[in-house]
A and B are shown apart, each in its own frame.
Chain A
Amino acid sequence: MDRVLGRIWWLLAASAVIAFLSPPFLWLFGIMDGAGLTLYLQQVVSGTANGCVYALVALGIVLIYKATETINFAQGELMMVGAFLAFTFITMYGFGFWIGAAMAVAGGVLFGMATDRAIIRPVVGQPVFAIVMVTLGFGFVVRAVVSMIPGWGTDTYALATPFSGADLRLGALVVSQDYAAIIVSTVVLVAFLFVFFRYTRLGVAMEASSENQLAAYYMGIPVKRVYTLIWGLSAGVAAFAGLLLAPVTFIHTQMGFGVVFKAFPAAILGGFGSIPGAIVGGLIIGIVEALAGFYLPEGFKDVAAYVVLLVVLLLKPEGIFGRVVVKKV
């Protein structure tokens, strides 16, 4: 408990310092004018929206890691496949947005479960590098296969949603509905996952198998089946992220690769293996990136995320919410 409290104090102190130096306070003290504040908030909102997507992909990575200790470099590709499925169902077959979206997520779940059975099951128990190589290689294969499928290919596609084009006005602040949709659905999804892990039998079984595989097995939990379901869940979350990202960027075969190299820092920042950590990490990376892109010279946008990662890791090598496990002899 002490450790948890210590972590919370650490976070509070850090955020107090940051908040004190932030534009809202500068505005309160009269150092910054209203237009500057609006610009700043605009960046924060778009950063939050991007951060939500990073957070969802990071969440998928963390779910899989927590349960199976598999580091999944193909998570971005799962997201990409989800986005392409959404494009297929919604735009190509014309199922309508909501049905198409549900079908895309369901398709993503099935794809994730198939991946676990076909690719991951044979290598469970091998060293970490081996599994990393498998998921990396699998990512290459998925990208190649997607680019070969007729109708998908190497082109770039736009996905129309019911929200596209419209803006929300909050005083001087203009938020595109796409961004608002991303933020709201992320909150809903995270709440759903929280309830799922806390109150359902399957969720508790998943927690148990990730805590201690052998003990869970002895308690009668079908660990292998639970793992397949976790891959399904994680791929479903990834497909959801793809669905959210598609209206903002475009759908193309490389969309996953860029996101996954932001999602990993996000997951690590929060403490690899911690679900709240993945969310917080994703938001931090997204916001820092947006602010750096706006206020700093060109070139800092991409580097900013990694600089933050390094600084946090140097201060707290296990991440913000990470668990320090010391081997007892």
Chain B
Amino acid sequence: MRFLFKTDYAQDTRLFPFGGTRRFWAGLALYAAILVALAHYAPVALNATHWLGVAIVYAVLFGAVLLRQNADGEGGNAAFWYGLLGVGALSAPFVLDLYFLSQITFVYVYAIAGVGLILLLGMCGQISLGHAAFMACGAYTAGLLQAQGFDLLVTLPAAILLSAALGVVIGLPALRMTGIYLAFATYAFAFIVEEVLARWDGLTGGNMGFVLSDPSILGYSFDSEQKMYYLAMALFVLTLLAGLNIRRSSTGRAFMAIRDSETAAEAMGVNLAVYKTTAFAISAGMAGLAGAVYAHLLFFISPEGFTIFLSINLLVLAVIGGLASMHGAVFGAAFIVVLPQLISLTKDSLPPVVGQLPGLESGIFGLVIVLFVIFEPMGIHGRWMKIKTYFQLFPLYKRGTFKRQKSYMVSEKNR
């Protein structure tokens, strides 16, 4: 697809500008520092309107700098908008109220897991119905280690590593099976993990679950919603960068080769066993990280939070968001978080006969999934690409640009 790869590496890199972004990060750091200084040492107490003003000034300044910097590169526009988004995200805790802030924090957490799932499903083509188990592993690792008095610098890496190890174990069947076999092998593992968590009373507190306290790093406690927001955001950005880098690396290309044809990939010298296991490990590690942050956000974990429904939710996230790109993780996460809220909001304004119907939420949820796959199989990101391309090519856009080739028999049998 022309939107994934350009002809050479330099062009490819320009899609997600990195080289020119050293200045971007330096600028971002400087602006953030000014922001923090402003928050702490301003002569008058600043209210929301002040902060909105500051955010707008920032956005304009930032955009101008980036536009000039990358005026010739393809990434110029993208860098501007990402910069704007970054500033918006950084200033959100000062502007938004706590409810919206915590929702965005959940978007970050789901997006972390989503990046992992898109790596596995979208890039490597391996399906997993067991991601809830990885999230559970991360959550319980973080929670139990915290109870022992360790701080985030220990618990997060431990959560990631342990989940990745579990991912290797669960990924082992992937060496010998594909498609539905793999889906249910992973589901079987996940079910067993869930059952173990529920039955191992002594360690996990069983079905009663257990309560976590505020996480901290070297004595600095993340004791407010705002601090948790920044923590989740930082971890998400790191995960995203890792995901993008993996995609550009030889590992990522090997993943894609495996996805498109295992036989061809093997013939080209891709070691199937190594790369499939790696994909599972990376994806599981990211899900574990998401699980750890999730646990700290909820302050309470129990096996009921990590059932097959969470796995299905994550799959929905990836498919609705769009499997072709890391953007899909963010879009999908936003979808997963926003849709239930939206439904419960509209429920109140509907006439009670309709609004009080049982199963309304899951019905709408299912309907949206069905309609999405029928009308927009590439997910939200695919729709976004189409809109963007339409305006880029303005009078010349053809409806057939993104049209899928209809194949008569798409057989999984002879892959």
Contact = CB atoms under 8 A, between A and B. Distances in A.
Interface of A: 65, 69, 71, 119, 122-123, 125-134, 136-141, 143-145, 147-148, 153-154, 212-214, 217, 253, 261, 264-265, 268, 272, 299, 302-303, 306-307, 309-310, 313-314, 317-319, 325, 327, 329
Given A129-B319, A130-B377, A141 B366 contact: yes
Interface in B366-405: 366-370, 373-374, 377, 404
Contacts of A317: 173, 176-177, 181
Given A137-B370, A265-B188, A309-B188, 14 more contacts: A129-B315, A129-B323, A130-B377, A134-B370, A136-B315, A137-B316, A137-B366, A137-B369, A147-B358, A148-B357, A313-B181, A313-B185, A318-B181, A319-B181
B179 A128 contact: yes
Contact of A133 (B185, B191, B315, B362): B315
Nearest to A223: B408
B188 A272 contact: no
Nearest to A303: B195
B199 interface: yes
A296 B62 CA distance: 65
A113 B363 CA distance: 21
B177 to A, nearest CB: 5
Which applies to chain A's interface (DSSP): helix, strand, loop or mixed? helix
B173 A253 contact: no
A319 B359 CA distance: 37
B358 A153 contact: yes
Contact of B359 (A69, A132, A154): A154
Contact of B185 (A119, A122, A154, A310): A310
Interface of B: 121, 127, 173, 176-177, 179-181, 183-185, 187-189, 191-192, 195, 198-199, 263, 308, 312, 315-316, 319, 323, 357-370, 373-374, 377, 404, 406-415
A144 B359 contact: yes
Contacts of A303: 191-192, 195
Nearest to B369: A137
B111 to A, nearest CB: 19
Contacts of A129: 121, 127, 315, 319, 323
A125 B263 contact: no
B191 A302 contact: yes
A307 B195 CA distance: 12
Nearest to B122: A129
B358 A133 contact: no
18 contacts: A119-B370, A119-B374, A125-B408, A130-B377, A132-B315, A137-B365, A137-B368, A141-B363, A143-B359, A143-B362, A148-B359, A154-B358, A212-B409, A261-B308, A303-B191, A313-B185, A327-B415, A329-B263
A72 to B, nearest CB: 11
Contact of A144 (B127, B189, B199, B360): B360
A134 B369 contact: yes
A306 B188 contact: yes
A134 B373 contact: yes
A243 to B, nearest CB: 23
Across the A-B interface, the 9 shortest Cβ-Cβ residue pairs: A140-B366, A144-B363, A137-B369, A306-B188, A144-B359, A317-B176, A147-B359, A141-B366, A137-B366
B177 A133 contact: no
A268 B363 contact: no
Given A133-B316, A148-B358, A214-B408, A141 B367 contact: yes
Nearest to B370: A137
Contacts of B362: 140, 143-144
A217 B408 CA distance: 10
Contacts of B363: 140-141, 143-145, 148
Contacts of B412: 69, 128
B188 A125 contact: no
B377 A265 contact: no
Most central of B181, B187, B189, B315 by chain A CB within 10 Å: B181
B377 A126 contact: yes
A259 to B, nearest CB: 14
A253 B360 CA distance: 13
Given A123-B373, A126-B377, A309-B185, A137 B367 contact: yes
B319 A130 contact: yes
B195 A253 contact: no
A123 B312 CA distance: 20
A124 to B, nearest CB: 8
A310 B188 contact: yes
A143 B309 CA distance: 15
Contacts of B121: 129
B177 A313 contact: yes
A139 B377 contact: no
Most central of A140, A303, A313, A314 by chain B CB within 10 Å: A140
A123 B374 CA distance: 6
A22 B57 CA distance: 79
B195 A327 contact: no
Contact of B192 (A71, A132, A153, A306): A306
B191 to A, nearest CB: 5
Nearest to A217: B408
B369 A133 contact: yes
B341 to A, nearest CB: 18
Most central of A119, A137, A214 by chain B CB within 10 Å: A137
A306 B190 CA distance: 10
A130 B373 contact: yes
B277 to A, nearest CB: 15
B358 A307 contact: no
Contact of B370 (A141, A143, A217, A268): A141
Nearest to A73: B312
B414 A325 contact: yes
Nearest to B409: A213
Contacts of A69: 410-413
A265 B192 CA distance: 14
A311 to B, nearest CB: 10
A132 to B, nearest CB: 8
Nearest to A146: B359
B184 A265 contact: yes
A126 B370 CA distance: 13
A310 B180 contact: no
A130 B360 CA distance: 23
Contact of A268 (B181, B191, B360, B407): B181
